[in-house]
Amino acid sequence: MKKVLLLSCSTGQGHNSCAKAIKEYFSLQGVDCEIRDALDFVSVRFAAFISWGHSFVYRHLPSLFQWGYRRSENKSSSFGETSTVYRFFASHTQKLRQYIIDECFDAVICTHQVGALMLSHIQMKASLDVQTAFVATDYTCYPGLHACYLEKNFISGEEQIEAYLECGIPQNQIIASGIPVRPDIFEHREKGEAKRQLNIKGSSCHLLMMSGSMGCGPMKKILRYVVEELPDNTEITVICGTNKRLYRSLNRKYKIDSRIHIVGYTDEVSLYMDASDLYLTKPGGISVTEAAAKKLPMVFVNAVAGCEQYNMDFFVEIGAAVTAGTDREIATKSISLLCSATERGNMVERLREYNQPNGALRIYRELQKTESRLRENSLESGIA
């Protein structure tokens, strides 16, 4: 396996982060990888519009986002071969097909259903000699996946296999690899040293607050409630992602409070997690997977629901996270956990038992194994 195309989609950064994690690991193994937005093969302007629209609804109209997701779950025919959605994307697959041929890719990996749907149509109409795979970025099976026919489906874990079977995906095409996250997430710094690097007191209990790359959710209100009851010897870091308005607002309010650290977009999430005792976040698939790999207890803000509801339910059920119905209650639960090393320790133990796998590594090994088997079969056929 020498060259791989990673088809993502700029509807939030989770799918892109997953693709980047795969690329980073594969590149370390000497595999040439390229990431493309599947929507670019429809049109670059269309891709930009969809990305903007998704970001706007996600941040400002979360109830509409939730309604749309539930509707797509309840109406699976929306993605069938006769549906408007399917026909639209199928009609824009020729550029993608030619690109795969021209660039001589050995494998195409999709981290979003749109790319998977387009690639499935290509393979059904005039199959290309490439390995094909879908990679989940959440702890559930997505609406529309039943209309995708790729060779492999790499999913979050064994606990989600039943959902994929119910979606009609054959057992032999489901691999519980774990969701890919950046390789540095699996590198663990000693907590005291990580705190020192970030100018956080080694004796402080450290709460990390983050709501994904877009910085959505009721963070300002929750932070205010937490600060009102903040225990002694406790510090908070808030990572605002690309939400510059949130960053400016919080920075103005808390810049003279030495206990509160406001950060914009950062590539040092792994370091911040290593330096943290508790993580308050929305339950995005990448965020929760990174925290699980770090064995970091979580408090969830269900800002958007949709597929994130399943992520939240899973980690709450295994005892690695908590949540609550209101912003005030979420703040209260956070304070309670900050004051109880025993409760946090129990949550860490649940995460050790779960043992988050290295998704990118498992995907690489599986594709390499398949390529070796295909090569051997080809040689045997030639000899015969």
DSSP assignment string, 160-215: GHHHHHHTT--GGGEEE------GGGG----HHHHHHHTT--TTSEEEEEE-TTTT
Whether the pLDDT of residue 77 is over 60: the answer is no
| Residue 281, phi then psi, degrees to nearest 5 | -155, 160
Distance CA 383, CA 233 (A): 72
Mean pLDDT score, 359-379: 89
pTM of the model: 0.88
Q: CB neighbours of 329 closer than 8 A, spacing ≥ 6?
A: none
pLDDT in tens, 265-303: 898 999 999 999 999 999 999 999 999 999 999 999 976
Class for domain 189-354, per CATH? alpha beta
Please, what is the average pLDDT of the chain?
Answer: 89
pLDDT in tens, 252-263: 999 999 999 999
Between 33 and 53, whose confidence is greater?
33
How confident is the model at residue 359, as a pLDDT? 97
Whether the pLDDT of residue 97 is over 70: the answer is yes
Q: CB neighbours of 114 closer than 8 A, spacing ≥ 6?
A: 9, 38, 39, 89
> What is the token pair recorded at 138?
């959440």
Do residues 131 and 375 touch, judged by C-beta distance below 8 A?
Answer: no
How confident is the model at residue 37, as a pLDDT? 93
How confident is the model at residue 90, as a pLDDT? 79
How confident is the model at residue 86, as a pLDDT? 74
- The conformation of residue 29, written as its DSSP 8-state character, comes to T
Do residues 169 and 192 touch, judged by C-beta distance below 8 A?
Answer: no
Mean pLDDT score, 145-162: 94
How confident is the model at residue 144, as a pLDDT? 80
Whether the pLDDT of residue 211 is over 80: the answer is no
How confident is the model at residue 74, as a pLDDT? 59
Q: What is the percent of the chain with per-residue pLDDT over 90, rounded to a whole number?
A: 70
CATH 3.40.50.2000 residue spans of the chain = 189-354
Per-residue pLDDT band at 104 (split at 50, 70, 90): very high
Mean pLDDT score, 97-116: 96
Class for domain 3-178+358-383, per CATH? alpha beta
How confident is the model at residue 130, as a pLDDT? 96
Whether the pLDDT of residue 68 is over 60: the answer is no
How confident is the model at residue 147, as a pLDDT? 84
How confident is the model at residue 373, as a pLDDT? 87
How confident is the model at residue 64, as a pLDDT? 55
> What is the token pair recorded at 245?
């308005």
How confident is the model at residue 340, as a pLDDT? 97
Q: Which residue has the tokens 């997505």?
A: 142
